[in-house]
Amino acid sequence: MLNQLLKFTLISSVLLWLKPRWRGLLALSVVVIAIHTFHGEYLDYAERSGDYSFLLWSYIIKWIALTAAVLLYIVCTIAGQNKQMPRVDETRIKKNSRGNAPPSADDGFDFLRTKRHLQSRADKILASNKRDQ
């Protein structure tokens, strides 16, 4: 029982972590696999042709491309997090502006917004008692 609960917790926490990041991680994985595939094809070509003159450059380009892809992913992830989290001051300003703005569409409660005083349940009971007397 405890083992199943532990597995469920672990899997759900991984899925919750992965949910906002899956597109970027998928793109990064495709780029990394493509770089390794292209480099493997070049190594195969160099072995078959016997021309090893650019072999060092191929490894340098491979590692530069891998590093650039990972750094680009990190920068995009950090930039995406900064866009998603508004500052506290911006949130307060938006809340205050929403309260002062009139409703944009009729939601069925306009007749209540125009009333000067709303009666509570107690006010209605007292009014009915006064009428009865």
Q: What is the pLDDT of residues 91-133, one digit of tens each?
A: 666 666 655 555 566 777 777 778 888 888 898 888 888 888 7
Cα 4 from Cα 82, distance rounded (Å): 36
Tokens of 39: 């480099």
Residue 40 in this model has a pLDDT that exceeds 60 = yes
Contact 49, 83 (CB under 8 A): no
Cα 64 from Cα 78, distance rounded (Å): 21
pTM of the model: 0.55
Cα 59 from Cα 122, distance rounded (Å): 82
Tokens of 72: 């680009």
